[in-house]
Amino acid sequence: MALNADVARGRGKVWLRRCASGLAALALSTAIPVSAGETSDEAVLWPTRLRADMARVAQVEWRLRDAASGLCPGVAADIGVVFDDRRAYRKADWPVLASTLGLADRPVVAALVPGGPAERAGLVVGDEIEAVGGFSVDAIAERRKAGPLVAEALLEEIATTSPE
């Protein structure tokens, strides 16, 4: 029995979404250290490893979205950027994040997809984010009820913003 094209595309999108989610979970799960038995060198290095994994996952996600773009009836805006914010981590980790990554009060650009719209617009890794689309980071976080997931709220804001 043959599947019609719409059904096949729908299954492809679900598979692609699951693959991207699985890759992200795998990369992040291997990057986060276990506290018990952790040496002081590992305590300092884990943020750097996590940041590198975030960049790799972003590049894979970018390629998957590009490859699947013809299969999806609509796509969310993606500018090829990863944000990071210290509120997503334990407060006890904030000093290590500050010393290794320079993470302070504001979210920062953690990674860029080479040649992506964010990089072409002039963003660089380490840039602090004050606002998106004229709305302050705090206003976006409050409106989206982000809690500690401010970086994700910023990406959602970009994804739902109409290009001007």
pLDDT, tens digit (0-9, with 9 covering 90-100), for 33-87: 444 445 566 666 999 999 999 999 999 999 998 888 888 777 777 899 999 999 9
Which pLDDT score, from 0 to 100, does residue 35 have? 47
Q: How many angstroms separate the CA atoms of 92 and 73, rounded?
A: 44
Please tell me the total count of domains within the chain.
1
The more confidently predicted of residues 83 and 1 is 83
Interval 128-153 mean pLDDT: 95
Half-sphere exposure of 4 (CA within 13 A, CB side): 2
What pLDDT sits at residue 33?
A: 46
How much is the pLDDT for 32? 47
Contact indicator for 9, 58 with CB cutoff of 8 Å: no
The predicted structure's pLDDT at residue 38: 55
For residues 134-160, b (16+ Cβ closer than 10 Å) or e, as one string? Answer: eeebeebbeebebeebbbbbbbbbbee
Rounded to two decimals, what is the model's pTM?
0.72
Kindly state whether residue 17 falls inside one of the protein's structural domains.
Answer: yes
What does the DSSP 8-state code read for residue 145?
A: T
- Let me know if residue 149 belongs to a domain: yes
pLDDT at 31 over 60: no
Using a CB cutoff of 8 Å and minimum separation of 24, what contacts does 134-139 make?
Answer: 137/106, 137/107
Tokens at residue 123, please? Answer: 């963003």
Q: In this predicted model, what pLDDT tens digit does every residue of 98-137 receive, in sequence order?
A: 999 999 999 999 999 999 999 999 999 999 999 999 999 9
Domain range enclosing 99: 5-159
Query: Does a structural domain hold residue 123?
Result: yes
Question: Within a domain: residue 164?
Answer: no
Reply yes or no on whether the pLDDT at 15 is more than 90.
no
* Dihedral sign from CA coordinates of 111, 116, 119, 122: negative
